[in-house]
Amino acid sequence: MSLKVGDIITFERTLTVKDVTLFTELSGDQGKHHLTPDEQGRLVVQGLLTASLPTKIGGDHNVLARTMNFEFLRPVFTGDNIICEVKIEKYERLENNRTAIVATFLCENQNEKEVLKGDFSGVIL
């Protein structure tokens, strides 16, 4: 798929206890809020695990990231379904046969509450 300025790409994922457990092991982020369920039986999802949603979209399009900026707006819990919308802001051919890309993103939970926003830039290989 060839991208162009203005394109919007969407990805969604429901984050699970297994996801948090695996990410805890991988990252070493063992904050007690990631290990101890709240009164509703949920764990708080690591911010960088939530941030993996826009990076998945970058990976789908072979983006080699140069910058990534994240603003974490509210907690995400296990069982939350997160919808990530990425908008292509810049898509420009470079002299070296690569393509520069800049994109913004917004992630919302199943209740349409914003949980994460930011941007990334890089080149497409």
pLDDT values of the chain reduced to their tens digit, one per residue, 125 residues: 579 999 999 999 999 999 999 999 999 888 888 899 999 999 999 999 999 999 998 899 999 999 999 999 999 999 999 999 999 999 999 988 899 999 999 999 999 999 999 999 999 98
The CATH superfamily holding the domain 8-124 is Hotdog Thioesterase (3.10.129.10)
Helix (H) or strand (E) holding 100: strand 99-108
Sheet holding 63-72, edge to edge: 8-14, 81-93, 99-108, 114-124, 63-72
Distance CA 11, CA 54 (A): 8
pLDDT at 34: 83
pLDDT at 1: 54
pLDDT at 2: 79
Instruction: State how beta strands 63-72 and 8-14 pair.
Output: unpaired
Domain boundaries, given as residue ranges, for the chain? 8-124
